[in-house]
């Protein structure tokens, strides 16, 4: 998945979330993980508009459905 900014209020990108999830020593359920990622990255602490997307991404990452982020290269 191409890296992109997921939380615009806090400037948190997909790779920030992906890496933060993978840095956790144990994965709880999605909402517990969300709280840990929120603390680690500050994502979804502003307007809350990204909440559903962040939770969805965390769910995908935990379940192994999410591709590692990569940066777009301009050739
Ligand atoms: S876009 Fe993430 S808190 Fe506003």
Question: Each residue's pLDDT tens digit in the chain (75 positions)?
Answer: 789 999 999 999 999 999 999 999 888 899 999 999 999 999 999 999 999 999 999 999 999 999 998 866 665
Which is the closest atom of ligand 1 to the Cα of 43? 2
Ligand 1 pocket member 52 (CB < 6 A): no
Distance 75 CA to ligand 1 centre (A): 31
Report pLDDT for 2.
82
Provide the pLDDT for residue 17: 97
Asked if 13 and 3 touch (Cβ cutoff 8 Å), the reply is yes
Q: Where are the alpha helices (DSSP H) in 1-75?
A: 14-23, 30-41, 51-62
pLDDT value, residue 32:
96
Please report the pLDDT score of residue 26 as a whole number.
Answer: 82
Residues 6+ apart with CB under 8 A from 20: 36, 37, 40, 41
All domains in the chain, ordered by first residue: 5-62 (1.10.10.1100)
């Amino acid at each position: 998945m191409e890296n992109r900014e997921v939380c615009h209020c806090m400037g948190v990108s997909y790779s920030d979330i992906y890496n933060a999830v993978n840095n956790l020593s144990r994965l709880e359920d999605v909402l517990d993980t969300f709280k840990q990622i929120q603390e680690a990255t500050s994502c979804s602490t502003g307007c809350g508009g990204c909440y559903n997307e962040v939770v969805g991404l965390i769910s995908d990452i935990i379940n192994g459905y999410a591709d590692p982020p990569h940066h777009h290269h301009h050739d």
